[in-house]
């Protein structure tokens, strides 16, 4: 029996790794365990509860307003000790968080192979998103198995010299996750009442570090959009980061059709996204989740490491300049034909079977299964 440690610390990692955990549980010869760093304490616990999963071990590293250097200095030594204690035969990390890079580095120091779920995403700019672009590149240097969600991500890895034998195109596990939850959990009654009264929903999220200097400006742009569309109801689950809250609450707290709420558990967030007319976000994962749900996404960033959604027509880059964001959102909301085309765009991120491919690839690595077939995405059809 091989012990596979799934290590994560944030809400997006938890939701995207939950289907992988389930798939590993169903794979003969593999024993999955969860190591949480607690990088996002409250959001992480809420995400896991939607899937009925609890960590086996928790490093509890998060403190308020700590720096990235402080976080790195805590995770690397503590994770190494815990991986030894848990008897890890392989460690799976996800995406581009500080947790992912630090645990991958700890595993490397311990001589434990690393599997990188959501490998190969690249924006081309180390500062956008920050520090995520550097985290995912550095994690890729340390990984033995690379699970690219799309053929484009796999191409990035080949270009960087990653060996073909450890490279798999799986689809995006976020598609698995959002389909698991959105279809079986109802929308909150207060938001359903808005829909029943004919008021359409728009979901907002903003939390990126590179957006913090312009977040008050972005908040003003959102306030102007909300004021121009009283027939819409905007829901903004606000990050617990004090810098984010200090930027947006003074600007957005007194609008009758814009609700600032606490971060949502995934069982509330998934049906909210599914019921929305538009997602306006600087998140990475929400870009894929919107595409999977057929919901148009306005990306509040200058670049995206998920270009497949832009090419497919479900994502629209809005930038992070306040006047430009205002213009893009107003144009989208005033153009039902464009929104309709975006809703009907093909989802380029997966078929809901990504987690099974990851589990089979791990089993193959240990000689327990045949190698999985790569997912054929829209770029290869």
100 touches 8 (CB < 8 A): yes
Residues 303 and 322 grouped into a single domain:
yes
Tokens matching residue 166: 């450890």
Give 329-359 pLDDT, tens digit per residue. Answer: 999 999 999 999 999 999 999 999 999 999 9
Q: Is residue 241 part of a domain?
A: yes
Number of structural domains the chain divides into: 2
Tokens matching residue 337: 């034909």
SS3 label, residue 361: helix
Residue closest to 358 by CA, chosen among 21, 15, 12: 21
242 touches 64 (CB < 8 A): yes
Residues 212 and 160 grouped into a single domain:
no
Q: With cut-offs at 50, 70 and 90, classify the pLDDT of residue 106.
A: very high
DSSP β-bridge partners for residue 4: 32, 90
Residues 284 and 303 grouped into a single domain:
yes
Q: Is residue 243 part of a domain?
A: yes
Q: What dihedral angle (degrees, nearest 10) is formed by the CA atoms of 233, 239, 242, 245?
A: -10
Q: Looking at the predicted structure, is the pLDDT value of residue 41 above 60?
A: no
Residues 22 and 165 grouped into a single domain:
yes
Residue closest to 146 by CA, chosen among 204, 192, 235, 155: 155
Give the CA distances from residue 61 to residues 84, 186, 280, 369, in Å, rounded to whole numbers and listed in that order: 18, 33, 30, 36
Q: Is residue 96 part of a domain?
A: yes
Give pTM, 2 decimals.
0.86
Residues 40 and 157 grouped into a single domain:
yes
Q: CB within 8 A of 130, min separation 6: which ones?
A: 208, 209, 210
Distance of CA 44 to the CA centre of its chain: 12
SS3 label, residue 252: helix
Residues 165 and 212 grouped into a single domain:
no
* Average pLDDT in the chain: 93
Q: With cut-offs at 50, 70 and 90, classify the pLDDT of residue 379.
A: very low
Residues 30 and 160 grouped into a single domain:
yes
Q: CB within 8 A of 332, min separation 6: which ones?
A: 278, 296, 298, 316, 338, 339
Range of the domain at 219: 188-344
Residues 338 and 288 grouped into a single domain:
yes
**Angstrom distance (rounded) from CA 227 to CA 255:** 8
Give 50-91 pLDDT, tens digit per residue. Answer: 778 889 999 988 777 778 899 899 999 999 999 999 999 999
CATH number of the domain to which 62 belongs: 3.40.50.2000
Q: Is residue 72 part of a domain?
A: yes
The arithmetic mean of pLDDT across residues 124-136, rounded, is: 91
Residues 53 and 161 grouped into a single domain:
yes
Q: Is residue 180 part of a domain?
A: no
For 37-41, 230-234, 377-381, which range has the lowest pLDDT when averaged over its residues? 377-381
**Angstrom distance (rounded) from CA 235 to CA 283:** 15
Residues 14 and 161 grouped into a single domain:
yes
147 touches 168 (CB < 8 A): yes
Tokens matching residue 104: 């991958």
Q: Which conformational region is residue 252 in: left (phi greater than 0), alpha (psi within -120 to 50 degrees), or beta?
A: alpha
**Angstrom distance (rounded) from CA 63 to CA 221:** 31
Give 155-211 pLDDT, tens digit per residue. Answer: 999 999 999 999 999 999 999 998 888 777 899 999 999 999 999 999 999 998 889
Residues 156 and 115 grouped into a single domain:
yes
Q: Is residue 183 part of a domain?
A: no
Residues 322 and 338 grouped into a single domain:
yes
**Angstrom distance (rounded) from CA 119 to CA 128:** 17
């Amino acid at each position: 029996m091989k012990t596979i440690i799934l290590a994560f610390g944030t809400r997006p990692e938890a939701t995207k790794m939950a289907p992988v955990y389930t798939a590993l549980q169903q794979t003969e010869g593999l024993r999955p365990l969860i190591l949480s760093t607690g990088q996002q304490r409250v959001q992480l616990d809420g995400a896991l509860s939607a899937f009925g999963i609890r960590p086996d071990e928790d490093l509890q590293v998060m403190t308020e307003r700590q720096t990235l250097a402080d976080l790195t200095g805590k995770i690397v030594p503590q994770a190494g000790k815990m991986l030894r204690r848990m008897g890890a035969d392989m460690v799976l990390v996800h995406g581009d968080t500080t947790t992912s890079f630090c645990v991958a580095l700890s595993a490397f120091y311990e001589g434990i192979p690393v599997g990188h779920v959501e490998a190969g995403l690249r924006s081309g700019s180390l500062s956008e998103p920050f520090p995520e672009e550097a985290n995912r590149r550095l994690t890729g240097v340390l990984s033995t198995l690379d699970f690219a969600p799309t053929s484009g991500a796999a191409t990035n890895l080949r270009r960087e010299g990653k060996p073909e034998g450890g490279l798999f195109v799986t689809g995006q596990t976020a598609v698995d996750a959002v389909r698991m939850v959105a279809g079986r959990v109802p929308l909150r009654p207060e938001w359903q009442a808005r829909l029943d009264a004919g008021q359409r929903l728009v979901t907002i999220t903003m939390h990126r570090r590179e957006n913090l200097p312009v977040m008050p400006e972005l908040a003003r742009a959102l306030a102007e959009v909300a004021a121009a569309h009283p027939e819409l109801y905007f829901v903004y689950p606000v990050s617990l980061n004090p810098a984010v809250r200090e930027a947006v609450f003074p600007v957005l707290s007194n609008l009758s059709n814009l609700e600032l709420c606490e971060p949502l558990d995934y069982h509330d967030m998934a049906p909210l996204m599914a019921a929305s007319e538009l997602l306006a976000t600087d998140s990475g994962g929400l870009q894929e989740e919107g595409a999977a749900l057929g919901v148009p996404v306005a990306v509040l960033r200058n670049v995206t490491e998920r270009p497949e959604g832009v090419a497919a027509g479900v994502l629209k880059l809005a930038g992070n300049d306040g006047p430009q964001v205002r213009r893009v959102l107003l144009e989208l909301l005033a153009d039902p034909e464009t929104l309709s085309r975006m809703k009907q765009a093909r989802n380029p991120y997966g078929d809901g079977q990504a987690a099974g491919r990851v589990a089979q690839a791990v089993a193959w690595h240990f000689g327990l299964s045949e190698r999985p077939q790569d997912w054929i995405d829209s770029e290869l059809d």
